[in-house]
Structure 1
Amino acid sequence: MFSTLRLVSSLLLGVAFLMVGVGGLSTILAFRMGEAGLPSTVVGVVTAMYFVGLVLGTGFCHRLITNVGHIRAFAALGSLMSAATLAHALTLDPWLWGTLRFIVGFTTVGMYMCTESWLNEKSSNEIRGQVFSLYQVVLYLAQGVGQFLINIPDQHGMVLYILTSILMSLAIMPVAMTRVSAPELPKPVRFRLGRLWNISPTGMTGSLAAGTAMGAFYGLGALFAQQAGLETHQTAQFMGAVILGGLLLQWPIGKLSDMIDRRLVIIGVSIATAAVCVAIMDKNVHNGSGLLALGALFGGLSFTLYPLAVAYMNDYVEADDLVPASGGLMMAYGIGAALGPVVGAMLMDAVGARGLFLFIGAVVILLAIFIAWRITQRRSLPVEEQGDYQTIQRTSPIVYEMYPESGGDDVDEDPEDDTRC
């Protein structure tokens, strides 16, 4: 067990470096584009390309890892990511930056796949749940820490790109230097989105809405703070408060959803999230600690929507279908995350900074209305038949192999389907 934990700790260290860099870069770029006076819609399109890369990169990266192996693929993807990060310093051109964001998203999902397949392979069933939970905590903490990179002085506009590139390069080391044999990569799996919709419209809609809301926040949160008049350090604090706050309510909300109809919890969380969005739009809270508290509450609530949707869907699928079906929800989340920054930015151009949280609030209210209607169409599952809620982020499909209830079993399906998870 201790040898396993030693291996896992080195991989998690690499993940931490990666997520500090990736999480910080997203905020840095949105902030820089805002400083340059680019329209919000342009910023939204550029930041959305990261999520497009995440969605489209899965199939290619799987083939790459299969053909050249985990270590070579991880090193190649990490090097490409590091180079793309440095290339942002060449010029602030939206077309170039959009392409670079796509590359970073594309390479990120491949590096996730390498790391998660290693974590899954080396985690026995006895400690799989602990490793899964620790992995999720590292993701949250590292992303939160990354938000504070924008506080570092950068007189010539190069330091932050160099620093994030260094962090991404450091992420390669734990994997590149390992002497442990590479794990077997789970085969690509499919789960037709139409079938997934028939099984759980609530799960699929919840994932789509969560992706739309979270994609809008990740892509435009720093721009909102800037347009709202926050200083650089305040922007970092606000973004960090939201992301780190994402851990605060995972356990109590998850526990509650295990005890009652999960749909009621999703409705309650959606309404509460909308209320917090309204409060954040109030300019009177933008200059004090109240905004940080509201940001942490927003993160604590909204970051549970996706795991709630996954948990609800898992209650209705067979054990053998859990991994591919969860991957289908990941695709729905990714589609929403690619659309969210674009639509949210258009609203910001129309009504100002508050347009971001006006958009997110509208998305979660529509989700609550839809699920309220679904309650009238389908009886709730008995509580004793529900599975356990798990904190989870949208990384790569391999993460569901680590999902405690999956048992870590591979699912062999047709790799050519265009809904590859």
Structure 2
Amino acid sequence: MIPQSALAIVALFASLVLLVMGNSSLGTIAALRLEIEGYEPGAIGIVLALTSLGFVLGSLFGIRIVQRVGHIRAFAVFAGIAAVAALSHPLHVSIPGWMLFRLVLGFCIAGLMLVTESWINSHATPQSRGSLLATYMVLFFLAASSGQFIVALGDPGMYGLFVIAAIFIILSLVPISLTRSTPPQMKRGKRLAFSVLWARSELGLGGAAVSGVVLGAFGIVGPVYGYEMGLTVEEIAVFMGISILAAMVVQWPMGYLSDYLPRRLVIVCVTGAAVGMALFTAAFGQRSSMHLYGGVALFYALAACIYPLSLALTHDMLAKHQIVPASSLLLLANGLGAVAGPAIGGAAITLLGPSGLFLFLAAALGLLLLLALHSFASERAPLVREQSHCVGIAPVSTAVIIDLDPRQESG
């Protein structure tokens, strides 16, 4: 007979997959719909950046709702409102209306992730944390990539795709509602000042923020870039889906490499290579599909490594009891970066054309590269044998998932 805890974990991961697929597809559908309606990329970036702002607010305040009404009721509330927000998009296409819808949607998605991640974490043991986090990562990236291909099922200018995205969000209610597992108690963790974190690991904090800017800009404005480049809806789905899969494939080899080389050196090399691929895509992306898809996939794969590397570097510099509050601050910095990135990235396309997005991304990563070079040259780094293991973290997650990090079990 299958243990009840195993069934509960399967149900929670099933809810996670359905939720991420719906949310991932909806972001691309919304970006393409605004393009079809004739809005400028700068305006599109600002509107869709409200999703990231809502996610940050939901990560900070959603826990109060969960504590008040419980996990299952909170999940039902968040899923219901998120589905309403998704279905409202084609009913009222306007900048103010969509800013409200995206803000509400982002808040609810954060609440849904909060419930799911905390419940998954409650089933973790010191022996299973690593495998659970690895499973979470694989399923997250596969679901996010699969969600992109939903876009190819219809016309973003019509109502149908919004309905499909909402259906996936609503379906995420089913597995978690059927589980017999007892919901965990949620407690507020300890806090750490930004100034303390900056003093201990300025590169870690800077890397988290720039990672949010870059991944937020590409994830939200990437479909707009594809549309401006003349890609079809099906090609945009492939363009985004391949990039996410490439990020998944590179995470573990890069993390393994950073465990056996000086972490700052790895960050310098990864960031420098990401700058190079961003400039390559800006210069040669229009030449052929091979240049475009290959350049973007390599760029996104490298850029997606920066946040987990920054997290690992920060852990190298902190005491064990500081890891969770520091990770929460890094996640907040990453989220705030994801608010700024789409707005600036959209404006760059408006001012400079499609290549403006990757010129902006190269500039943002260039600033991080300068910080990394300064840190590498001037600060004492931990010996390689003293470094913590680098663990992949999904680009859209709440602070709760940090509790699955097996590094907390080490002295």
Bin the TM-score by the shorter chain.
over 0.9
Distance in structure 2 (CA, Å) of the matches to 1:381 and 1:2: 42
Calculate the aligned-residue CA RMSD, in Å: 1.7
- Equivalent-residue separation in structure 1 for 2:350 and 2:293 (angstroms): 24
> 2:200, 2:318 within 8 Å by CA — same for their partners in 1?
yes
Q: Is the 8 A contact 2:285 2:291 kept in 1?
A: no
Detail structure 1 runs of 4+ shifted over 6 Å in the superposition: none
The CA distance in 1 between the partners of 2:225 and 2:79, in whole Å, is 30
Match in the other structure for 1:393: 394
Identity value in percent: 31
Partner of 1:161: 162
Q: Letter of the aligned partner of 1:197 in structure 2?
A: W
What is the DSSP-based 3-state SS (H/G/I as helix, E as strand, rest coil) of the residue aligned with 2:399? Answer: coil
Question: In structure 2, what is the equivalent of residue 405 of structure 1?
Answer: 407
Corresponding residue for residue 418 of structure 1: none
- 158-167 vs 259-268, which deviates more? 259-268
Q: Which range moved further: 90-99 or 303-312?
A: 90-99
**1:255 and 2:256 matched:** yes
* CA shift for structure 1 position 407: 3.6
Q: Is the counterpart of residue 140 in structure 1 residue 141 in structure 2?
A: yes
Q: Work out the CA distance in 1 between the residues paired with 2:50 and 2:285.
A: 33
1:58 is matched with: 59
Structure 1 letter corresponding to 2:201: S
What residue number does 1:375 align with?
376
Matched letter for residue 406 of structure 1: Q
177-186 or 286-295, which moves further after superposition? 286-295
Whether contact under 8 Å (1:24, 1:149) holds in the other structure is yes
What does the per-residue CA deviation read over 1:162-190, in whole Å, with 9 as the maximum and x for residues that have no partner?
Answer: 10110000011111222221111132442
- 2:3, 2:283 → 1: CA distance? 51
Equivalence map 1:165-184=2 (5 Å): 165-184=166-185
> How big is the shift at 1:161?
0.7
Tell whether 2:105 aligns with 1:100: no
State the distance in 2 between where 1:245 and 1:133 align.
Answer: 16
The superposition leaves residues 24-58 of structure 1 with CA deviations (integer Å, 9 ceiling, x where unpaired) of 10011111111122011110111110110111112
Total equivalences in the alignment? 409
Mapped contact 1:53–1:105 kept (Cα < 8 A): yes
Are the aligned partners of 1:215 and 1:338 in contact in 2 as well (CA < 8 Å)? yes
TM-aligned CA deviation for residue 201 of structure 1: 0.3
Counterpart of 2:363? 362
> Corresponding residue for 2:92?
91
Matches within 5 A, 1:14-413: 14-154=15-155, 157-283=158-284, 285=286, 287-394=288-395, 395-407=397-409
User: TM-score normalized by structure 1?
Assistant: 0.94
CA contact (8 A) 1:348 1:356 kept: yes
Tell me, in whole angstroms, the C-alpha distance in 2 between the residues paired with 1:155 and 1:114: 30
Q: How far apart are residue 285 of structure 1 and its match?
A: 4.7
> Could you say if the C-alpha distance between residues 32 and 286 of structure 1 is closer, same or farther in structure 2, counting changes exceeding 3 Å?
farther
Cα distance, 1:222 vs. partner?
0.1
Secondary structure, counterpart of 2:91 in structure 1: coil
Maintained 8 Å contact 1:280/1:291: yes
CA distance in 2, matches of 1:140, 1:310: 19
User: In structure 2, what is the Cα distance between the partners aligned to 1:214 and 1:73?
Assistant: 28
Per-residue deviation at 1:284? 5.7
C-alpha distance in structure 1 between counterparts of 2:155 and 2:228, whole Å: 21
TM-superposed deviation, 1:291: 2.1
Deviation at 1:406, TM superposition (A): 1.9
Kindly indicate which of the two structures has a greater share of residues assigned to helix.
2
Contact preservation (8 Å) 2:246, 2:300: yes
Amino acid at match of 1:404: P
In 1, distance between residues paired with 2:272 and 2:16? 33
Distance in 1 (CA, whole Å) between partners of 2:156 and 2:108 is 29
Q: Go from structure 1 to structure 2 and tell me whether the alpha carbon gap of 1:298 and 1:206 turns closer, same or farther (over 3 Å shift).
A: same
Q: Assess if the C-alpha contact under 8 Å between 1:401 and 1:407 holds in 2.
A: no
CA distance in 2, matches of 1:7, 1:284: 45
**Structure 1 pair 155–165 and aligned structure 2 pair: CA distance change class (3 A):** closer
Q: Which amino acid in the other structure matches residue 135 of structure 1? A: Y
Contact persistence 2:328–2:399 (CA under 8 A): yes
Q: Deviations over 1:125-149 (max 9, x none)?
A: 2111101110011111111111112
Q: Indicate the larger mover: 224-233 or 374-383.
A: 374-383
Q: TM-score, normalised by structure 2?
A: 0.96
Question: SS of the residue aligned with 2:362?
Answer: helix
How many Å separate the matches in 2 of 1:328 and 1:381?
22
C-alpha change, 1:161 and 1:257, in structure 2 (3 Å) is same
Deviation at 1:356, TM superposition (A): 0.7
**SS of structure 2 residue aligned to 1:190:** coil
155 and 47 in structure 1: CA distance in 2 versus 1, 3 angstrom threshold? closer
